Amino acid sequence: MAVTISLPDGSKKEFPSEPSVLDVAKSIGPRLAKDTLGAVIDNEKDIIDLRSKIKNGTSIKIVTVKDKVSLEVIRHSAAHVMAQAVQELWPKVKVTIGPVIENGFFYDFDSPHAFTPEDLEKIEKKMQEICKKDYAVTREEWQVDEAIQTFEKMGEKYKVELIAELKNKGEKTVSIYHQGPWFDLCRGPHVQHLGQIPVMKVLSLAGAYWRGDEKREQLQRIYATAFLNEADLKKHLHELEEAKKRDHRRLGKDLGLFIFHHLAPGSPFFTPNGTVIYNELQRFLRDKYQEHNYQEVITPQIFDIDLFHQSGHYENYRENMYFSKIEERDFGCKPMNCPGHCLLYGSDHRSYRDLPWRVADFGRLHRYERSGVMHGLTRVRSFSQDDAHIFCALEQLQAEIEGFMQFLNEVYTTLGMTKYHVYLSTRPPKRMGSDEVWDKAEAALEKALKQLNIEYTVNIGDGAFYGPKLDIMFVDAINRPWQLGTLQCDFNLPQAFSLKYVGDDNAEHAPVMLHRAILGSFERFIGVYLEHTAGHLPFWLSPIQVRVLNVTDRQLDYSAHLEKELKALGIRAYLDGRNEKLGYKIREAQLLKVPYMLVIGDKEKDTDTISVRLSSGEMVNNLKKSDFFEMLEKEYRLRSLKSLIKPKQGEKV
């Protein structure tokens, strides 16, 4: 029976039997076949291996070395090259897994040899040698028992464990990829031959645990990357260097914003300066809550475990929770505010006139994160969110979704976060509620996005266990995506808590519940925003807004009075009255990224004026104090991103 394959231009090709991707490419032309790395079928996201067979009626788009998406295949193959290089250099090393990640790949090794930065250079050189041999990459299907026996003889216990799990799931065969004398267990996809890997770079070392379990073997992880050309690699390496400079952990230390302690893992301590940022963000959100008709509440942190059975968190989320026993009762720390807000909603009779009910909560949350995945402020165990829930009638749903997107855009615009993408995350495998309810919730979100003309990408299976969601991916100053805001449409929790309101028909109805956050976790947001701004926070968020710098002791009294005046106006001012050279004081203030430095010499003292040094190094001299104070007040009130104080001459100190 003939097999018909559809091509992107609408044409069709027929084959006597199921062709491979490469067979299809060869039928189109030799040049295309030479460049083929894989294919996308039926408009799916994942790239399939070029050796895969194509079924009748399939539409196919060939992926070549010219396509950006081919990086997934190239990096997957480069990971194998790295594993081969490591085992050729150190034959006693055992390999585990080597997945593709954003902008690169890694491979975890069980090695008696402790890798050093110098070893990375050796590995990269060996990888280049292997690629120059241009081994053909071939795939074989092995019976699982044959594969287990082979890897057992090689001492590759991690591969044996993986194959045994596949066998327990009913798999009969596994795919093995060969390149020259080396082979590995892998699903693919992979290149035709190693010469199709253009440029590679070994980057860094890290520790890891097998399967991410701190109770299992400790491994050594090597990070690397591959690109289509040297220019792209060079750009990426520049971005990595920039990311190092912007690392929020480094900035947090340099600016004295937060610390971590081994006695409270994953739980940051905010210093007075860091707490200023935290509180200013909350104040900003509270002001916006007034504009958008939210009411703030405070709810408990610890609840009887029965609450989490009722909400579904125990069945679907308990591995991320903390539990305790008190007076023979089981309790849990809340990982989310939603169950408590359901109790609040259910504590009173509600009418359609009360809806929508928008309730906000800055309560502290606790979620268990494994030590291996915690990362500065961006992955912690204790945090607070700009969390809120909207209880509304079904007919109000579209307006509330629209209102959320408007609210989010206002906040992000104020913060200078103008680039973001929206993802519609659909039902996950582990979830509560019926498919009919999920259909309704997913359709509501999709309809709202279409009515708002918002471009979005469907993220299949990444919804919360109680409802689908919109995930807002902010793209920072160096083009890295961060998931911050979210809106989750939930028909399930109101049912679980039997929440009702009386409609204008005098009948009871279940409300729809929207879970929403704009900044997300304050801890995570502060980490992301520090990296986005490289620590140069706008005036209203800066812990120290003005630093007063006297030139000599003759101006000390005047400077101290000026500091007092600024503080009386609510400005976070600090007098650096040390007997140090002015240049030294300026450099220190620059390192602390203070927006305004007031340089006070005899002239300023005698004329009761100030000279302002901006963070750019430009000067505004002989400014009236009243004018300066007025501009500061306006800049804070507007939460301006840019300084309202403009230099006259561009004079430098």
pLDDT of residue 651: 52
Radius of gyration of the chain (CA): 30
Phi, psi angle pair for 396, to nearest 5°: -95, -5
Backbone angle region of 570, left / alpha / beta, with phi > 0 → left and psi within -120 to 50 → alpha: left
Catalytic residue among 76, 80, 248, 367: 367
| Known catalytic membership, residue 353 | no
| Alpha-carbon gap, residue 327 to 31, rounded angstroms | 75
DSSP strands (E only) in 480-595: 481-490, 501-502, 508-509, 512-521, 546-550, 573-576
pTM score of the predicted model: 0.81
DSSP strands (E only) in 316-442: 323-326, 329-333, 357-361, 364-366, 382-392, 420-425
pLDDT of residue 652: 52
Catalytic residue among 94, 358, 515, 605: 515
| Known catalytic membership, residue 545 | no
Residues of the chain with pLDDT under 50: 650, 653
Catalytic residue among 389, 572, 593, 613: 389
- For residue 618 the two structure tokens come to 């430009």
| Known catalytic membership, residue 385 | yes
Catalytic residue among 387, 471, 476, 490: 387
Catalytic residue among 131, 333, 338, 489: 338
- Cβ neighbours of residue 262 closer than 8 Å, sequence gap 6 or more: none
Which residues, in sequence order, are bridge partners of residue 623? 610
| Alpha-carbon gap, residue 274 to 258, rounded angstroms | 6
| Alpha-carbon gap, residue 223 to 201, rounded angstroms | 9
- Sketch out the chain's domains with CATH numbers: 3-64 (3.10.20.30), 70-243 (3.30.980.10), 289-533 (3.30.930.10), 539-652 (3.40.50.800)
| Alpha-carbon gap, residue 545 to 307, rounded angstroms | 45
- For residue 149 the two structure tokens come to 């026996």
Query: By the 8 A CB rule, do 200 and 124 touch?
Result: yes
| Known catalytic membership, residue 387 | yes
**Roughly how many angstroms between the first and final C-alpha of the chain, as a whole number?**
83
Residue with tokens 């509440």: 297
Residue of 543, 535, 545, 525 whose CA lies nearest to 250: 535
| Known catalytic membership, residue 367 | yes
Residue 189: asked if its preceding bond is cis (omega within 30°), the reply is: yes
pLDDT of residue 158: 92
- Cβ neighbours of residue 109 closer than 8 Å, sequence gap 6 or more: 83, 86, 93, 94, 95, 96, 115, 219, 220, 221, 222
pLDDT of residue 446: 87
Q: Average pLDDT of the chain? A: 92
| Known catalytic membership, residue 178 | no
| Residue 36, SS3 per DSSP | strand
Alpha helices in 110-246 (DSSP H): 117-132, 144-154, 157-168, 230-246
Catalytic residue among 427, 469, 524, 572: 469
- For residue 393 the two structure tokens come to 């009638």
Backbone CA torsion sign across 107, 111, 113, 114: positive
| Burial readout 454-481 (b: 16 or more C-beta within 10 A, e: otherwise) | eebeebeeebbbbbbbbbbbbebeeebe
- For residue 598 the two structure tokens come to 């007031």
